[in-house]
Structure 1
Amino acid sequence: METFNQLIQSAQPVLVDFYADWCGPCKAMDPVIKAVAGVLSGKARVVRVNIDTNQTASRNYQITAVPTLMLFRNGKVLWRHPGLLDKVSILKVVEQHLV
């Protein structure tokens, strides 16, 4: 199984949705993240990270609000956004970072 650190080392952009099962706004973002993943299939990875079960990654990236979206490439943070965001805005950010 791939670790979080291995996952974000990809040369392909990796969009990470830090969420929690108990978080209402996170549940609202679920269909948006799924739609983004469908559009970006083959171009970028989209993963969801539960902050309660992956506390190390949450702590390492100082996730203090959920949902928080982060975009990584080669282990570097390219973008970060706490809170809700629509599909078009997320796609615009990610597409700017596609090779």
Structure 2
Amino acid sequence: MENIKDYQQYLRGYNYTGVTPVIIDFYATWCGPCQAMAPMLKRLAQEYEGRIKVLKVDVDKNQALAAAARIQSIPTLFFITKDGQIERQVGGLPFQELVRLAMRIM
């Protein structure tokens, strides 16, 4: 697993506190699979509000963070535990898989 401390300098403005598990969605507006996942991530954020945080990072507007995170394909999701351990998932996922992965970091 990777550690959030490796990316902390690039996460300014994303309100990562280390208090709540976080999912970071690296996406682009032109990416079809990214757009297909957007409503599922919004639903996940709403259903687990207060227990998990979902952050979205547009790789075109945040190239330094995308480069630091070695994003080579989108969508890429980081599932981050409270202690900062990261599990990386590349590609579109069905909602139930998003829930399963979210439960693992809670």
| Band the TM-score falls in, shorter-chain normalisation | 0.7 to 0.9
**What is the alpha-carbon distance in structure 2 between the residues aligned to residue 24 and residue 93 of structure 1?**
22
SS at match of 1:64: coil
Give the C-alpha shift of residue 82 in structure 1: 0.5
Retained in 2: the 8 A contact 1:19–1:68? yes
2:76 to 68, 87, 97: 68
SS in 1 for 2:57: strand
Q: Residue 96 of structure 1 corresponds to which residue in structure 2?
A: 104
Aligned AA for 2:69?
Y
Alignment of 1:1-99 (within 5 A): 4-5=11-12, 7-73=15-81, 76-98=84-106
Structure 2 gaps, min length 5: 1-9
Write the distance in 1 (CA, Å) between the matches of 2:53 and 2:105: 12
> Aligned partners of 2:104, 2:89: CA distance in 1, in Å?
15
| Equivalent pairs, count | 96
Identity of aligned residues (%): 30
TM-score normalised to structure 2 length: 0.80
- On the 8 A contact 1:23/1:66 being kept in 2, the answer is yes
Scaled by the length of structure 1, the TM-score of the pair is: 0.85
5+ long unaligned stretches in structure 1: none
Cα distance, 1:74 vs structure 2:
5.0
